[in-house]
């Protein structure tokens, strides 16, 4: 493996701390990461040290002269590599949220090394022999349910990572997995580069017509920060979305839309077409090496859905249910556009603009009417208050805990009995070092070892509307829903009560992980919850009942369209990962065929979903994007229990915490769900919520 001279220098002599905070104990509140002391040059030595220590620990397990047991093999392996896990948790979180060219170079250096490290473990014959011995001979009646799950998961992880392959196939597996790790990183970096590179500059104030004052002020401040005259609009969501909804200049909407949708598809150094082809083909080759026909067959073997038939049945059932509604919605928006003087067929860059006009017509409601009541600080208080009412936890900001950027706030989380539960970091506004979107990660996981409980350090990262010189951050309803969603993931991490690291928190099946997040969004449409926090940022007036009624009445506005949009992503993902022969043709042509059943609007030349589809090409949702819809079935079904018993019902919340949030992946998710719900989930609650069963 080639290592650059710079990396070699950093990797040399790194088995002592050398004043490297990553190689020392964290003498901070709750062992919080000392972000204020960590420098970029500390990471590679810490990675190298962690891998060295991890290899020693694994070798000790593999070469143990004692007969293999659950404790000396399975549990010992799960606890190994703690130093590397700590460094990885810190570095990869920052590389997503506060990256730099130097951080990106470290990622390029370290990803192949980490892939090799992981392959050295899963392809270690002595280690696998011990694991298989325990797996074949364990008295499962003597194991706890969590131990039984860890044994099953460990054995499957090794067999699904090439442990049973021939030596020649193991070598090939190593090559493919190493290349895949680099490609995923390149894909992500290309999208970030193109997001940051584009700015739409406006110098004529007449081109701002229709835009709300908040967007204009933000664009003015953005231009000033970039040394640009006039107003600057970027591809970051808080800027892009209002422009597409309100800007009356159709040509400028088209220009911004095209810039947003051609990311990674411009034939330049950041083009992702060849990367997509190679990623898809490598995944197929790896799956077939392991005995599966397709990558989806491989991935779904460890999901609730189990197989492609069940996934496709769900996608098609929802497609058939939602498409007629979406087609009616299209006709409504088209008619609205014509009432406003449009003499053309709606294009994708027209949709948000005229859909917003229709929403105003039907409900006398728009984002700008809602924003004054959704001051970010109040939304946060509302979400924290909801967690307190449901689960009895409290969050207290601690400004003494180091953070990695001034925007970030750190909170201590306590249970109702005063016991410390977690650290929670909130990083909520866009900047150039942060990728688009919103996500939750754990900087440190929760687990128990030797009578010590390690409590988790959880982070929510978003790209919400920023404050301006004259106004605080005022959110749209959609942004407030994002805060609820990501905090649901955070609760899954913070309330974890598991023994083993690989089973704790959000380490669950991909098509189960969205249940705790998506169920939280339901409260955002409940008047009892809105009354807890929604008040005008200037007058302190509670959100008017009339406005709340409009929000509730509009909850299914364009539900068919938004369902189809999610299904578009799910269909495309499954199309890429159900091929059983090498993908050789045009990515654009492949995408066109894959998403044709769910499309409503005409295609725009050069626009591509695939080339910036980070969920499946740089994140962990390959053959798993359907899980958002799968989890919608779960969250609608689960929330129906809260609706029946009361949305703040303490017994229902206690059951959800005990059976879902605290259990992580310690048991099969369907068993956990049935324990909460009393039955398997059905699609009926989702169809009712979306209005598709009318």
Catalytic residues: 486
3-state secondary structure of 399: coil
Spatial separation of the C-alpha atoms in residues 80 and 500, rounded to whole Å: 11
Element at 246 (helix H, strand E) = helix 237-246
Q: Pick from 180, 349, 359, 337: which is nearest to 253 by CA?
A: 349
Contacts (Cβ under 8 Å, ≥6 apart) of 56: none
Q: How many CA atoms lie within 13 A of 9 on its CB side?
A: 4
User: Could you tell me which residues are beta bridge partners of residue 454?
Assistant: 447
For the chain, the maximum distance between any two Cα atoms, rounded to a whole number of angstroms, is 82
User: Could you tell me which residues are beta bridge partners of residue 427?
Assistant: 461
Element at 135 (helix H, strand E) = helix 125-137
Q: Using DSSP bridges, classify how beta strands 420-427 and 457-461 pair: parallel, antiparallel or unpaired.
A: parallel
DSSP string, 481-528: HHHHHHHHHHHHHHT---SSGGGSTT-S-TTTTTHHHHHHHGGGG-HH
Spatial separation of the C-alpha atoms in residues 671 and 195, rounded to whole Å: 42
Q: Treating both helix axes as pointing N-terminal to C-terminal, what angle do 43-62 and 82-97 enclose, rounded to 10 degrees?
A: 140
Terminal-residue alpha carbon distance, the chain: 61
Q: Treating both helix axes as pointing N-terminal to C-terminal, what angle do 43-62 and 125-137 enclose, rounded to 10 degrees?
A: 50
DSSP string, 630-650: HHHHHHHHHHHHHHHH-TT-H
Spatial separation of the C-alpha atoms in residues 240 and 463, rounded to whole Å: 11
């Amino acid at each position: 493996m080639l290592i650059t001279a710079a990396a070699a220098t950093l990797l040399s002599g790194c088995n002592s701390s050398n004043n490297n905070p990553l190689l020392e104990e964290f003498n901070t509140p709750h062992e919080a990461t000392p972000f204020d002391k960590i420098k970029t040059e500390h990471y590679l030595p810490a990675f190298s040290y962690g891998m060295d220590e991890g290899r020693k620990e694994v070798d000790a397990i593999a070469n143990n002269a004692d007969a293999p047991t659950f404790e000396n093999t399975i549990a010992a392996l799960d606890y190994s590599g703690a130093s590397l896990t700590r460094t990885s948790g810190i570095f990869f979180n920052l590389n997503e949220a506060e990256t730099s060219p130097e951080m990106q170079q470290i990622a390029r250096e370290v990803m192949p090394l980490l892939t090799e490290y992981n392959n050295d473990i899963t392809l270690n014959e002595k280690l696998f022999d011990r694991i298989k011995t325990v797996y074949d001979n364990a008295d499962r009646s003597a194991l706890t349910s969590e131990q039984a799950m860890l044994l099953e998961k460990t054995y499957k992880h090794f067999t699904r990572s090439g442990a049973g392959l021939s030596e020649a196939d193991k070598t090939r597996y190593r090559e493919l997995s190493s290349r895949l790790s680099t490609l995923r990183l390149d894909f992500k970096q290309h999208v970030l580069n193109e997001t940051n590179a584009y700015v739409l500059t406006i110098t004529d104030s007449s081109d701002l017509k229709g835009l709300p004052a908040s967007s204009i002020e933000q664009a003015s401040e953005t231009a000033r920060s970039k040394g640009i005259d006039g107003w600057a609009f970027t591809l970051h969501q808080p800027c892009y979305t209002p422009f597409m909804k309100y800007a009356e200049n159709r040509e400028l909407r088209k220009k911004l839309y095209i810039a947003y949708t051609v990311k990674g598809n411009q034939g330049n150094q950041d083009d992702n077409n060849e990367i997509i082809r190679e990623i898809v083909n490598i995944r197929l080759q790896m799956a077939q090496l392991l005995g599966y026909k397709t990558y989806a067959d491989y991935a779904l073997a460890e999901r609730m859905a189990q197989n492609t038939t069940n996934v496709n049945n769900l996608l098609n059932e929802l497609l058939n249910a939602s498409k007629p509604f979406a087609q009616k919605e299209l006709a409504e928006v088209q008619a609205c556009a014509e009432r406003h003087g449009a003499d053309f067929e709606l294009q994708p860059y027209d949709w948000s603009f005229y859909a917003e006009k229709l929403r105003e017509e039907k409900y006398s409601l728009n984002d700008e009417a809602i924003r004054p009541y959704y001051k970010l600080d109040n939304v946060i208080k509302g979400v924290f208050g909801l967690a307190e009412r449901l689960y009895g936890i409290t969050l207290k900001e601690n400004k003494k805990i180091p953070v990695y950027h001034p925007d970030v706030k750190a909170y201590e989380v306590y249970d109702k009995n005063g016991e410390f539960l977690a650290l929670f970091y909130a990083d909520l506004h866009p900047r150039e070092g942060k990728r688009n979107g919103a996500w939750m990660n754990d900087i440190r996981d929760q687990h128990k070892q030797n009578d010590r409980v390690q409590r988790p350090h959880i982070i929510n990262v978003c790209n919400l509307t920023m404050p301006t010189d004259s106004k605080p951050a005022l959110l749209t309803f959609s942004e407030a829903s994002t805060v609820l969603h990501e905090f649901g993931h955070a609760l899954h991490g913070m309330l974890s009560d598991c023994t083993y690291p690989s089973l704790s928190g959000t380490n669950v099946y991909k098509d189960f992980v969205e249940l705790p997040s998506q169920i939280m969004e339901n409260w955002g449409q409940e008047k009892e919850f809105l009354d807890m926090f929604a008040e005008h940022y200037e007058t302190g007036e509670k959100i008017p009942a009339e406005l709340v009624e409009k929000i509730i009445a509009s909850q299914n506005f364009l539900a068919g369209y938004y369902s189809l949009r999610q299904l578009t992503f799910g269909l495309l993902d499954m199309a890429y990962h159900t091929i059983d022969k090498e993908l050789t043709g045009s990515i654009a042509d492949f995408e066109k065929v894959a998403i044709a059943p769910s499309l409503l609007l005409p295609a725009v030349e050069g626009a591509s979903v695939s080339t910036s589809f980070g969920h499946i090409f740089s994140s962990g949702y390959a053959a798993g994007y359907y899980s958002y819809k799968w989890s919608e079935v779960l969250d609608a079904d689960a929330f129906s229990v809260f609706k029946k018993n009361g949305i703040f019902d303490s017994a229902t919340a206690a059951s959800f915490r005990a059976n879902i949030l605290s259990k992580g992946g310690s048991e099969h998710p369907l068993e956990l769900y049935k324990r909460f719900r009393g039955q398997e989930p059905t699609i009926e609650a989702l169809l009712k919520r979306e209005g598709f069963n009318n």
